[in-house]
A and B are shown apart, each in its own frame.
Chain A
Amino acid sequence: MNTRLTILFLTLLLACSIRVLAQSQSSAPTTKTSNSAVHKKVKTNDGEQRFQANCGRCHTPPEAISPREVKAVLQHMRVRAMLSAEDEQLILKYLAP
């Protein structure tokens, strides 16, 4: 019974992995442009990606973080998630643009 459950779980995991690989191969590459507005958006996206990559590794983000709370939240995460300097700056810009 235990072995069957383990095999079932691993099969589900394998199916998810295959789906990930399939999606990554079909996704189109991002077009680069020198437009400053787009560049700013890319930076914001960088912050969002870093936020997801670092903070989202453990938990879903709170629905709202006010500007007054950002510094404390970020310092807390800096210690907990051992953010790099670049991550910290990008996430700060994302949370408090």
Chain B
Amino acid sequence: MKRVLGTLIALLGIATSVCAQADVPILSGALAFNSSTTGGATTFQPTLAPVLVAPIGDHWLFEGRAQLLGFFFQQNGTSGPYNGQFFATLDYAQIDYIANPHLTITVGRFLTPFNIYNERFSAVWIANLQDAPVIFPIGTRTSASSNGGMLRGVVIERPNWLLNYTAYFSALQTTENLQAGRAAGGRIGMFLPKAGIEIGASYQRFLQNRNYNVAGTYFAWQPPQIPLDVRAEYAHSLGGQGYWLEGAMRIAKSRGTTTWLGRLQTVARVQQFFKGTPTPQDLLPSADVNQFDFGLNYYLPHDVRLNGSYGRQYSSAGNANIWNVQIAYRFLFPAWPGEHK
């Protein structure tokens, strides 16, 4: 934990010294408190997830996100006094060189770009449902972060469609809080802005212990006319395969509506997982899983969000009810004070 905090403070200091006033770094992220009850066992998780973004000129950028997590649970699972511990993780700390829209070169620690959930929907202030999909460990095995290099950008841009790519390599790292697996992979995606449709595919070769291939595909649809978000992913690995499909809709005519009812969002997700060949530490369930989740999110003023969800998991390892309640506050401000221009 000290190492993580030390790294962040040191990087902030470097960024502070080299940045001009015009390139003010920002401190963003979220403060959240989550209560979860799975199969009768209740846990509480306070979370602080700060994000530091420091532009250095027009082409260089430092980005970092850490998570300070608390985990409080009952000593005997469903009874007894609560025990807890805090720990820290470094999700990413990367230097980006933005050569042009077609090429950005990234080195450091970055979120593994397998499908889209990990990079785009896993943040505590973004996820519509607090529990990650069952297939989440496929392609993001170990820590969901990679240590190495990445290339990404737009291949072709047309008014009606856009093709983008990502390619990366990660080295094995076992240091606490900085874990990463040895892997290489890539992703290609197509975005149709007028229809609000996005499709893509991912591939990864996991290059340690027992080498194997991981593949996935994703779909997202956000119709411009109504505040509906549809997202889905499929992933396949040696340890198993599965999919999730999520729909979220604001009770309003448009996304920007701020009436009391327009701030409400309903969410539903179905997912299935089919167990494959058990592989050590693949973080996947030990048996097939079918799960349904339903949730309500309420977007309060000042970037505060309340959400609650109920899920039912069916598995030969045991069925369970899953309840989640969370309050999250998203913050965004300059990393140091100054006058508004």
Contacts and interface: CB of A to CB of B under 8 A. Distances in A.
Contacts of A16: 226, 228, 247, 249
A24 B245 contact: no
Contact of B255 (A2, A52, A67): A52
Given A9-B245, A13-B247, A16-B247, A85 B334 contact: no
Closest A-B pairs by Cβ, 3 of them: A72-B26, A20-B223, A2-B290
Interface string B277-317: 00000000000001010000001011100000000101000
B227 to A, nearest CB: 9
Among A16, A27, A73, A75, find the residue whose CB has the most chain B CB atoms closer than 10 A.
Answer: A75
Interface residues of B, number: 60
Contacts of A28: none
A9 B270 contact: yes
Contacts of A62: 303, 330, 332
B220 interface: yes
A36 to B, nearest CB: 23
Given A23-B225, A53-B224, A82-B104, 17 more contacts: A5-B270, A5-B292, A13-B247, A23-B226, A50-B193, A57-B120, A57-B198, A60-B255, A68-B341, A69-B26, A72-B24, A73-B53, A76-B63, A79-B98, A79-B106, A83-B101, A88-B101
B235 to A, nearest CB: 19
Nearest to B301: A63
Interface in A24-62: 24, 27, 49-50, 52-54, 56-60, 62
Contacts of B312: 5
Contact of B226 (A2, A19, A54): A19
Contacts of A66: 334, 340
Given A16-B228, A85-B101, A58 B121 contact: yes
Given A62-B303, A71-B23, A6 B334 contact: no
A4 to B, nearest CB: 10
Contacts of A78: 98, 101, 104
Interface stretch (B41-49, B76-84, B150-158): B150-158
21 contacts: A9-B247, A56-B255, A57-B222, A59-B123, A63-B303, A67-B340, A68-B24, A71-B23, A71-B24, A72-B25, A73-B332, A75-B98, A76-B26, A79-B63, A79-B98, A82-B104, A84-B154, A85-B101, A85-B157, A86-B157, A88-B101
A18 B26 CA distance: 42
B238 interface: no
Given A12-B268, A79-B104, A79-B106, A84 B292 contact: no
Nearest to B331: A62
Contacts of A68: 24, 334, 338, 340-341
A2 B106 contact: no
B225 A24 contact: yes
Among A9, A50, A60, find the residue whose CB has the most chain B CB atoms closer than 10 A.
Answer: A60
B222 A56 contact: yes
A83 B302 CA distance: 27
B292 A79 contact: no
A9 B303 contact: no
A1 B314 CA distance: 10
